[in-house]
Chain A
Amino acid sequence: NAGVTQTPKFQVLKTGQSMTLQCAQDMNHEYMSWYRQDPGMGLRLIHYSVGAGITDQGEVPNGYNVSRSTTEDFPLRLLSAAPSQTSVYFCASSHRLNYGYTFGSGTRLTVV
């Protein structure tokens, strides 16, 4: 099993560009989440999903969209990149109940 796979690992964007961060898991987990981590800070929840077709906002959703068309995939879209979105983005998934999250290795995004 590959676990949680995030692509790309690194990305540089210009202000105003859009892009999609990919996240895929092969563990048949119902729950998936996106977090961002700014330098020296903890993780902040962007969006999460409790199953295919169901998504909800976390603590810092502005500027990001998500969709969950399949159980396996949970892409995060940046609509119009801003320097304030420079961060490391982590995707995580877990079984529906009584399991900890499995995290991906992260996407390091720089917006210039």
Chain B
Amino acid sequence: DAKTTQPPSMDCAEGRAANLPCNHSTISGNEYVYWYRQIHSQGPQYIIHGLKNNETNEMASLIITEDRKSSTLILPHATLRDTAVYYCIVRSHSNAGKSTFGDGTTLTVKP
């Protein structure tokens, strides 16, 4: 599976959009981009995933560049409860049992 690169930390003002970048320049054609978040010491929570088209659900939007080498997770109206560590991973659906996580981005939403 391709490795990902994320900034170690980001800040965002409450009510503003939080844009979290992820670089996955070695992604292959059958690998999906997944995003999770981990609040405090809880188990990670699945947010969203996509292959090449932009995706949106009730939690967030995922924008994947046309060359698929990077993506951005967008939390449209960040709240204090969105303060968490956000992980971007790539996962092949032909070997979907193996998913490796990096160190993620610590997002701090400030009032």
Contacts and interface: CB of A to CB of B under 8 A. Distances in A.
Contact of B97 (A43, A49, A90): A49
B44 A88 contact: no
Interface residues of A, number: 29
Interface in A41-94: 41-45, 48-50, 56, 58-59, 88, 90, 92, 94
Interface residues of B, number: 23
A103 B98 contact: no
B36 A100 contact: yes
A91 B103 CA distance: 18
Contacts of A45: 98-101
A98 B34 CA distance: 10
Dominant SS among interface residues on chain A: strand
A103 B77 CA distance: 25
Nearest to A101: B46
Interface of B: 32, 34, 36, 41-47, 49, 85, 87, 93, 96-104
Interface of A: 4, 31, 33, 35, 41-45, 48-50, 56, 58-59, 88, 90, 92, 94, 96-98, 100-106
